[in-house]
Amino acid sequence: MSEKIIIDCDPGQDDAVALFLAMSSPDELEILGITTVAGNVPLNLTQRNARIICDIANYKNAKVFSGCSRPILVDLVTAENVHGNTGIDGIDIFEPETTLRKMHAVDFIIETLSEAEANSITLVPTGPLTNIALAIIKDPSILNAVKQIVLMGGAMREAGNLGASAEFNMRVDPHAARVVFECGIPIIVMSLDVTHKVLTSRERVNEIESIGNSVSSATANMLKFFARYDSEKYGIDGAPLHDPCTIAWLLKEDLFSGKECNVRIETDSSLTLGHTSVDFWGVEGNTPNAIWIEDIDDVGFYNLLIDRLKRFD
């Protein structure tokens, strides 16, 4: 029986690859909707990018919704320096045929969860958590339908990539992140600690490109651009594939290992805003609220990705 999921994203090249991975796996995953939020680039671009990705994948079942254009309390910070002005630089941009649904993403999340059976839907946020948090704030009863939240965000050992101690998604909307981490639903966290272990490389990108279909070509071209920033800033050969780790965990959990921890989000300090405080050793005695993923079989991850990209025409 396939896992019912809602993907909440801010595409982003790595979000795009996560979407491709999910779309290639209909036996395991049923995508109920794709909701978009401002993050890597503004909302008008993230919703368009999600629809472009659906077009490239020829994904006819797409239900794409536009959500929140700014964080709950703080000003929006975007990442064009990483993702380019479009958010998915590396491919040609076009006006997508996939339509944008009229319903607001937050209302779609609430409606879908309100009508669902208990513990039946997994939320997969790969961007700032604004949409998810506002849905919870508007109608906390929807949490009854949520089986788990598998998200990309946070950092412990790897420090920060937006500020010295905060990961981008947590820092963009720290107040939303706090709502989500305090909601009581099991959370699986794909932080920088693990995503920095699945670096693209020239060899891996070349192998993806050699598959030869439109999706693999788009993936390779986006990853070539995406690697530019990390190569220039950190001197590494490749870029971390952050967001696809969420989908990969749903498809092949045994690629990953982690530990139950209590995770809290800093919302008061200007110095550490958005920091994920991970009580890894349980010294504070608080009940764990998340599984903090620390390690991954990177070869197995890329084997999975390449295998699934071959499924596209």
Options 83, 104, 175, 242, the catalytic residue: 242
pLDDT confidence of 2, banded at 50, 70, 90?
very high
The CA angle 170-157-133, to the nearest 5 degrees, is: 20
pLDDT confidence of 177, banded at 50, 70, 90?
very high
Assess whether the previous peptide bond of 12 is cis (omega < 30° from 0): yes
Phi and psi, residue 90, nearest 5°: 120, -20
pLDDT of residue 217 exceeding 90: yes
Q: Where are the domains of the chain?
A: 3-309
Sequence-distant (6+) residues with CB within 8 A of 293 are: 188, 189, 190, 191, 193, 194, 245, 249, 256, 257, 258
**Mean pLDDT estimate for the chain:** 97
pLDDT of residue 185 exceeding 90: yes
Q: Give the relative orientation of helices 43-56 and 214-234 as an angle to the nearest 10 degrees.
A: 140
End-to-end Cα, the chain, rounded Å = 25
Q: For position 55, what pLDDT does the model report?
A: 98
Sequence-distant (6+) residues with CB within 8 A of 310 are: 211, 213, 216
Range scoring the smallest mean pLDDT among 29-38, 60-69, 122-131, 232-241: 232-241
Q: Give the CATH superfamily of 3-309.
A: Ribonucleoside hydrolase-like (3.90.245.10)
Helix, strand, coil shares of the chain, percent, nearest 5, are 40, 20, 40
80 is written with which tokens? 């064009």
pLDDT of residue 232 exceeding 90: no
Q: Is 196 a catalytic residue?
A: no
In this prediction, residues 194-222 reach a mean pLDDT of 97
- Taking Cα atoms as reference points, which of 52, 44, 41 lies closest to residue 87? 41
pLDDT of residue 189 exceeding 90: yes
pLDDT confidence of 123, banded at 50, 70, 90?
very high
pLDDT of residue 231 exceeding 90: no
Q: For position 230, what pLDDT does the model report?
A: 85
257 is written with which tokens? 């290992």
Whole-model pTM: value is 0.98
Sequence-distant (6+) residues with CB within 8 A of 221 are: 90, 91, 209
Residue 115 neighbours by CB distance under 10 Å: 9
pLDDT confidence of 292, banded at 50, 70, 90?
very high
In the chain, which residue ranges form alpha helices assigned H by DSSP? 13-23, 43-56, 80-83, 105-114, 130-138, 168-172, 174-181, 192-195, 202-210, 214-234, 244-251, 298-309
Q: How far is CA 139 from CA 43, 182, 246, in A?
A: 23, 15, 25
pLDDT confidence of 61, banded at 50, 70, 90?
confident
